[in-house]
Amino acid sequence: MSSSVRIEFPGAFVGHRCEAPEAAAETSKEELLGYFRLMYTMRRMEITCDNEYKARTIRGFCHLYDGQEAIGTGIQSALSPEDSWITSYRCHCVMLARGGDVESILAELMGNETGATGGKGGSMHFYNKKTNFYGGQGIVGAQVPVGAGLAFANKYKTPAGEKMPVAIACYGDGAANQGQIWESANMAALWKLPMILCIENNQYGMGTSISRSSSNNEYYTMGNMIPGLKVDGMNVLSVRQAVAYAKEHCASGQGPIYLECSTYRYHGHSMSDPGTTYRNRDEINAMRATRDPIEHIKKLLVDFCGATDDELKTIEKDVRAEVSAACDRAKAAKPPPVDKLTTNIYLDDAGKDAPPTYIRMPTYEASIGL
């Protein structure tokens, strides 16, 4: 086990109706190397998704997470498997953090049967029951009321006096003014649900900047009476500290909390968006040069833990090979057979898969009773 180091990051937090946590973290070389490997795997997997989409082995919708890796990694490092997590359609890397693997994620994106949900969910609908990951959500903002339901279930099932598992619902700045989010936050506050409302503010909702889409773009204050915390979302340690702080607040019965993680996406909103019509390449390049989350963690490893460039390059080389091999295996898999298309829809009274034996009102004549 490598020795502990203390890393400070002044200015990483701003609080609303709460005292911000200390802007410092205890960590180790071993721990930071683990974060680095995971984040670099996320980056390579998303670059692979970009290439495979252009090659038409991935079709349909595809929203990439590169640039935002510190958030998914930081959240995962602060949560336990008992905590519930639901996120938006930008969910490939969250699935990886929450126990998935590159091959099953890529196979799912390709619609093959070895995919994480059997090749039937696709880009926006990953799921991992074992780690309480409730997947992505194709409807903007709709994951937040589901997250409130998960938080309610966690509170309902926890004996009085014990700390509750929390639920975290992640959404973007483009969803932040959805009416269903306000309603969910209000209910969570009234019932003191253990819920973290996490805004991944990547500065652009689809193609609209936050200054043009929201009358209040200090998203961590949107809860009004609900406490909020603004976080440097490009620093995995600050995200980890913020989520640990939020989890303690919620689990101890104090109700919900808002987190705003300030971040940036390198790709466009989706694969149909070049990402350069509403922002210029100089802006993107400047973010890569000054705030890249992977370069930041590499610098921490070198400056605080004595890691060498060769050591980090070896990890990068290994990850590239692993992702490439996983992609080849995913492409070699086959689509699910036709008889699997009606499974995972209905259960019988014994809880077993029971495909429907009929289709209700399959024709116009049947629908009007002829």
* pTM: predicted TM-score of the whole model, two decimal places: 0.94
Which is nearest to 324 in space by CA: 106, 152, 91, 75? 106
The ranges of the chain with pLDDT < 70 are 1, 356-370
CA dihedral angle for residue 338, residue 340, residue 342, residue 347, rounded to 10 degrees: 160
**pLDDT of amino acid 350:** 86
CA distance 146 to 152: 10
**pLDDT of amino acid 355:** 74
From the number of C-beta atoms within 10 Å of its C-beta (0-12, 13-18, 19+), residue 150 rates as: buried
Q: Which domains does the chain have, with CATH numbers?
A: 4-336 (3.40.50.970)
What backbone phi and psi angles, to 5 degrees, belong to 248?
Answer: -60, -40
CA distance 144 to 187: 11
CA distance readout (Å), 93 to 70, 89, 225, 257, 294: 10, 11, 32, 24, 14
**pLDDT of amino acid 367:** 58
HSE, side-chain direction, 13 A CA sphere, residue 91: 33
- The identity of residue 50, as a single letter, is D
What backbone phi and psi angles, to 5 degrees, belong to 9?
Answer: -140, 70
**pLDDT of amino acid 361:** 59
**pLDDT of amino acid 369:** 59
DSSP SS3 for 167: strand
CA distance 95 to 72: 9
